[in-house]
Structures are given as C-alpha cells and as structure tokens.
Structure 1
Amino acid sequence: MNKLRRQALKYLQLALWAGPLSAFDAMAGNSVKEARPIRLALIESLSGPFANTGEAVFRNLLWAAERVNARGGVRLPPAQGGARPLAIVRYDSKGQNEEALSALRSAIDDGVRVVMQGNSSATAAALLDAIEKHNERDPERRVLYLNYSAVDPALTNEKCSFWHFRFDAHADMRMAALMQVIRDDKAVHSAYLIGQDYSFGQAVLREARRQLAVQRPDIRIVGDELHPVGRVKDFAPYAAKIRQSGAQAVITGNWGNDLMLLVKAAREAGYEGRFYTFYGNALGAPAALGDAGVGKVLAVADWLPNVPVADSRAFYQAFRQRFPRNEDDYVHMRMQLMMEALAQSMERAGSTDTVAVARAMEQASVQLAGRSGWMRAADHQFQQPLVVGVMERKGSEGVAFDVEGSGYGFRVVREIAARDAEQPSLCHMRRP
C-alpha cells in the first residue's frame, strides 16, 4: 500500500497546480509561463440535458493538459515559440448540431487549430463534414479534429478523414468485447435491444444483431427499439416492456441521462436481468441501480479504476485527489492518452502546423499508468486494449474503488488485448 501511495503522489505532483500555472512555473520557469499557449477548442454540451457529460469531459482534458504543462509544456523549437503550455477553450454546443457548427466557426475565428469533441456521433459527423470543407477552402487555417467518444464506426470507415483522429474504440470494437462475455453467459437465452435513435444508437443495435447471430445464434431477440435522444423523461413504459418481454439481458449503447433514467426505471419496474452496456459504469447509473445492479450490470471500456495494475490504481487515486467530489468521479484513460498523443505529435513535428501534426499523429504510440495504445495510420482509429467489468459492492474481491461514492464499483471480468479488439477498416483516405 505504501508503494501505491508513493505512485499516487507521483501522479498528483505531475497533475496538480496550487493555482493557475503555479506548479508549471516551478518546474518550467518564467520563460515558459510567458510563452504563448497552444489553444485547444472543446466543443461539448455544457448546458442542457447532457451538460454533465460535457463537464466530465472538461475535467478529464483539463487534468491531461495540466500534466503536460507541469512537465514543461509542449517542447517546440525556438522558432516555433519554444516550450508552450496547452490551454483549453470551452465552446458550448448545447447538445445541438447547429450550435456545435457555430462553435466551430467561432473557434476557427479565434485562431484555434485543434478541435476536440466526442459526445454524439451525429454532432461528430456534422463537425467532420464542416472541417473537411473548411480545410479545403481555407488551407491557411486548417483544423485538426480529435475525437474521444463519438463511436459510430462510419467515422473511421466510410467517412474517414485525414483531419480526424478517433481515440475511443468504435461501436463494433466495443460490441465485440461485450460479445466475448455474452458468448460465455449461458444464463442468457433472450435479449432486449434498446438504443438512442441516431447514427450511433442505430449502429449499436445493428451490430448487436449481427454479432449475436454469429456468437450466440441461440439467443432470441425479444425487443428491438430506438427512442429519441435526450428527450425521454420517463422510461417507465420502456422498462415495463423490457420486463414483460422476459429477456434475461438488455443490450444498450445509451449514455448520459438516457442511460441513468433507463436503468433507474428498470430497477423500479422490478427487472432482474442483466444489462450489457457501453457506459453503465458512470454518470449516475450505478447509484440508480443500487443493489439491483450487483452482478447484473456489465460495461465495456478502454480502462476501469479496478484494473489490477498498481500504476493504474495510483493514476486513479491522483485524479480523485485533483477532483475529490464524488459527482466529479469520471476519469477516462483514452482522454489522457489522446492529450499525450497530441503533445508527442507536436513535438515530433516540431511545429503546430495542422498537416505536420496530423502526419506525426499517424505514427503516435503512447503509454501512461500501465496502459498504452497506438494510432492506425490507415484510418486514424486508435488501437488499445479493452476491458469488461461487472458491477459489485465496494470492498468485494477486485473492487477497491467505487463509482461516484455510490458504494458500487466494477470488477474486471475480461481483458481484451489491442490486437484482439482491432477490427478491419473500410477507409479510403484522401491525404493532402
């Protein structure tokens, strides 16, 4: 335990600032403090029904930027400004595509050349199309797009772009990981598929049907429906149908409030089957389920706090010291690796030029706290290990950490190596 605490302190010292740029100043000196920052635009829902997801992303990216800055910032040649800190500029999309496009225009006009977004594949597709057209029309102000959560497979397949890099496993990769567990779950003979009615939710259900037919053709699909995104306030009718179907398992890609309200309604309806989820490990879902979710809610992720690696646990403890409120407990390794890849690529390019950084990022290979990943140049899909966890009470075997102070955490039941999570690509990329 003493070793774990020392490792946590190491990460904390790298990540924490006592005040704006204070630790950064101590380590890097006044010349770096005064350097012109490299501004990164975060375009997310910072108000409205999914504001909690946007704020959670901001905390992750802020912490990642702090870590880069605490070690001296992005080290560029003197002609490029020398060592420069990263600075995140927030733009509120309000959960609307038009607002996101307006935010993109504002960011470009503000001189930002790196855009980050992830929550909503529909928004991602709109931004990607706009960035493609902008970069073609205005090569002097080209923009790089880093995606940490929009997992519609098309974004790195049919719609792949030189300007877009995805750091999350896409929906087909996540579903394949879940299917490794469903394949061995002999208690499941029927499944209910439910998702959000847009490109991502549709892709999840489509892939669930396809992979069930291959991996578990004996499982009957007894429900298959989509619901509006972010507009359903009462999931009781859906929960009633799930219970009445007799399904032993629900498969869903729901996220944010749409997931929390769904699992809460299922608990209140008395549903006792399993939930196979993409995002059931955070943002209120464990607390909403309570004891009813123990042993029954599974989630696939790029990383979980209870991954049995000392460096990983220390990393999580450092994040909780940086953001101690239970409601702020939402840390994602992929967002940290994304920032590491960006800093690495800028340093390798020796420039912040969009094309040069993109070419360097095609070769990015990063590691942090016992986890690692690399960028596949063919389609700009990040390749990394995945894990599947099952919800258990804190303190039970394999569950040292709970989620959001709920008393429930996720025990890792399956680890999938990057080579096994990798999926073929349909990308035919045009390069400048």
Structure 2
Amino acid sequence: MKKTRRAILKSLATVAFLPAFASAQAAVPSIKLALIEGLSGGNANGGEAVYRNLVWAVERVNQRGGVRTREGRRPLELDRYDSKGQIEEAIAALHSAIDGGARIILQGNSSAVAAALIEAIERHNEREPDRRVVFLNYAAVDPSLTNEKCSFWHFRFDAHADMRMAALMSVLKEDAAVKSVYLINPDYSFGQSVQREAKRQLALRRPDIRIVGEELDPLLRIKDFAPYAAKIKASGADAVITGNFSNDLTLLVKAAREVGYDGRFYTFYGNALGAPAAMGDAGVGKVLAVAEWLPNVPAQQSADFYRAFRRRYPNPADDYVHMRLQLMIEALAQSIERAGTVDAVPLATALEQASVSFSGWIGRMRASDHQFQQPLVVGLMERQGTPGVPFDVEGSGYGFRVIRQFPPPKVEMPTTCKMVRPA
C-alpha cells in the first residue's frame, strides 16, 4: 500500500519521551496505538481535535514512566492513519496498522466507519488469533454498536445517542416554552438513531410537543443550509433537535441566524468546532449542548484540568478538550497493567473491569455490553464572564453554563447485547 494513502505520522507524544526509555527500548518495544480517523475532508477539524487530546493523554502516561507489563515498563506510541472519513480507507488503514504492529485501534468520528471496523476486526481476530486487536471507540454513538452489534473486541467510551438524548430530554421536559420542534440530523446510522429516539422520548416525556418537520441531510456534503433554515423558520418550530456536527452544524446555525430564526437548538455537539462563534449573540440563552464534561463544570479540579489543557495547547483554535478521551487512555493504561500484556483476550477482559477517576471525573466500563458509564452534563450558551461562565470556547467570547449534571445511574440505559466471548 502506498505510504501517501496511509498518511502515517508518529506522535510527538512518544518521540518527546523516548529518551527516558532509551536503555529499555532495545529489549522492550513501545505499545503502538493506531488512530484511524478522518484527518482530511469535511470533518478534518474533528479528527485533529481528537488527535490533540490523545497526544496529551499519551504524554501524561509516558511522563509517569509508561505502563507496567510482564516485559517491563513500556511507553505508549501513537500513530495516526487518515481514513478521510471513508469506510474503505478506514479498513485499509486497519490492515496497515496491524501490519505495523498496532494491537490497539482508536476511532470514533463516524458510526458507519465504526460499524465497519467492528466487522473487520471480528473477521481478522478469528482468522489471525496471534495478531488480535481491540478497538476503543471514543465518539461513534449509534446505540446499535453496544446493542445488537456488540463485540467482545469493541469498547465505547462515549455515551451513546440514546443516553445523550435522555439528558437533553430531561431539560426539554421542563422547558414550558417549547410546544413544537424540528428534527434535523445527518443521514446515516447515527443521525437516523437520533431521529428515532427523539420521537420516542418526546412521546414519553412531552406528548404535548408537536414535531413540525423532519430532515435527514447528506453527511458533510451540504454547502448551503439556507433552504433548510428557511423551512425551519417557516415551520414555526420553537426548537430544533439536532445531532449534526462539524461543518454541518456550523453551516446550519449560520444559516438559521441569517434567516432570522430565533428558536432554541438542542444539540449533541453545539459546544465547539466553530459552532459558538458561528451563532454569536443569536445563540446566547438559546443553544443547549450535551456532553460528558464541559469546561465550566463548577469544580476546582475541573477548572485545573481545563487550564492544564490550555497550557498544553495555547492556541484558542485548538480549544476542544474531551474528558472522555483522557478517561479512555487512563482506562487503557490501567487495563494493560492489570493484564500485564497487550494480548487482546486478557487486555479485553481487563478493560471490561476498568474503573477510573481523573481530575474529579469518574467512569466505569459495563462488562455486559462494553458501554462506558460516566456523568453527563447539559450546558446553555452564554457570554463569557456572565455567572457560571469563566471560560469561553475557542476564543469566541461565548461559553456554556452548566445547567444540569447527571450522575452515571441517571443516564444508564438497558442493553440488548448478547456478548460472545472467545473460549
């Protein structure tokens, strides 16, 4: 395979700390992690944001001496593979990563890609038991991935779409001003699941709310959302519920502002990647976002964590920090040490028992379906400096005031997974 197609780069997170392991490296190799992500194309900003978070997390593990294994202490090494957001490229990158020695695969910014990787990894692990891999998913939130498509080799560290929707609906339920909503989501498995779950939970929690419009838009292909925004405004909807992200969300909220729509946006990803700056004052008091963590969580440890990230990445444009990615790498380090190896079966067995705490935030892996259980928060967009908003987003002057916090049991949901474990 051509090197240009693989687009492999070794992480500075490893290079910076290899001298500390120099004497041991001859006998004990580093542990390769392969990030397979869209690092070019429509969601390149999301892929690069993930990469920055992973670099920081890997640096932290290596700064404290790497991880203990039976062979001795080993550093983590993060390699990146550009899937361009395409399934075929992601599968090719998977095989390249395995051939390059990676036994831990990281991906998340597409549920369709994640589903394809799960199937490919199942086939590979059955055919080549000596080169089995585990798959850590940090953002692909189609609920089916830990339900009917669950796999022993796959672990999800983000709350799935139904869990996120449950948190948003807990807030919307109390929003008496909302009498009608418009649903607009990306047209693939994730967006379709958001659409279905929004209708199901609205019927249960707010049967008085009318759904006045539904759209499924082509993922990362629309350049002009003005026609969509015009329909939303014409529908008279009091609020929009959307799982759109990256450029699709930014262009949608820009178009809504330009046509004069003044309803609320209940979003999965409205808290970053250009969306707050795009909305500007029009989003103040109107845009809500659900996340596993937000910078303005009212706790000193949380503020210290965020300031540490900003010291590592001082450019405001790089300001998209994911607590779940830090918890994921901490859980991986813990599990490697518990297993004493990166061999896939003992490592996966250890990951099933992972329970981590970091900067005041907690999370545990549920063994029955490999769905990580962690707190969720909902924030409301406000100007920086208003009460509860000491930090803004991406230098925009706008941040998210945390209006609700949900401990893990409040957003935990049942699973239909029938886990098949290796003999």
What residue is the counterpart of 2:288 in the other structure?
A: 298
Deviation at residue 33 of structure 1 after TM alignment? 6.5
Q: Distance in 1 between matches of 2:47 and 2:391?
A: 23
Q: Distance in 2 between matches of 1:264 and 1:313?
A: 30
Q: Distance in 2 between matches of 1:348 and 1:238?
A: 51
Question: Structure 2-normalised TM-score?
Answer: 0.95
Q: Distance in 1 between matches of 2:415 and 2:377?
A: 22
Q: 1:250 aligns with which of 240, 243, 248?
A: 240
Q: Distance in 2 between matches of 1:250 and 1:32?
A: 56
Q: What do you get for the CA RMSD once the two structures are aligned?
A: 1.3
What residue is the counterpart of 1:370 in the other structure?
A: 360
Q: Distance in 2 between matches of 1:253 and 1:370?
A: 28
Q: 2:374 aligns with which of 384, 396, 407?
A: 384
What residue is the counterpart of 1:7 in the other structure?
A: none
SS in 1 for 2:378: strand
Q: Distance in 2 between matches of 1:110 and 1:86?
A: 14
What residue is the counterpart of 2:412 in the other structure?
A: 422
Q: Is the 8 A contact 1:157 1:379 kept in 2?
A: yes
For residues 12-411 of structure 1, what are the structure 2 equivalents within 5 Å? 20-22=15-17, 30-31=22-23, 35-77=28-70, 80=71, 82-411=72-401
Deviations 1:303-338 (A, max 9, x none): 000001101111111101111111100100000000
Deviations 1:194-224 (A, max 9, x none): 0000000000010000000000000000011
Q: Is the 8 A contact 1:165 1:382 kept in 2?
A: yes
SS in 1 for 2:416: coil
Q: 1:323 to 1:413 in 2, by over 3 A?
A: same
Q: Is the 8 A contact 1:32 1:72 kept in 2?
A: no
Q: Distance in 2 between matches of 1:53 and 1:373?
A: 23
Structure 1: give runs of 5+ residues left out of the alignment: 1-16
Question: Structure 1-normalised TM-score?
Answer: 0.93
Deviation at residue 18 of structure 1 after TM alignment? 11
Q: Distance in 1 between matches of 2:253 and 2:344?
A: 42
Q: Is the 8 A contact 1:32 1:85 kept in 2?
A: no
Q: Is the 8 A contact 1:21 1:33 kept in 2?
A: no
Deviation at residue 31 of structure 1 after TM alignment? 3.6
Deviation at residue 21 of structure 1 after TM alignment? 2.7
Deviations 1:145-200 (A, max 9, x none): 00000000000000000000000000000000000000000000000000000000
Q: 1:76 to 1:337 in 2, by over 3 A?
A: same
- Percent of residue pairs bearing the same amino acid type: 70
What residue is the counterpart of 2:8 in the other structure?
A: none
Aligned residues: 410
Structure 2: give runs of 5+ residues left out of the alignment: 1-11
Deviation at residue 40 of structure 1 after TM alignment? 0.4
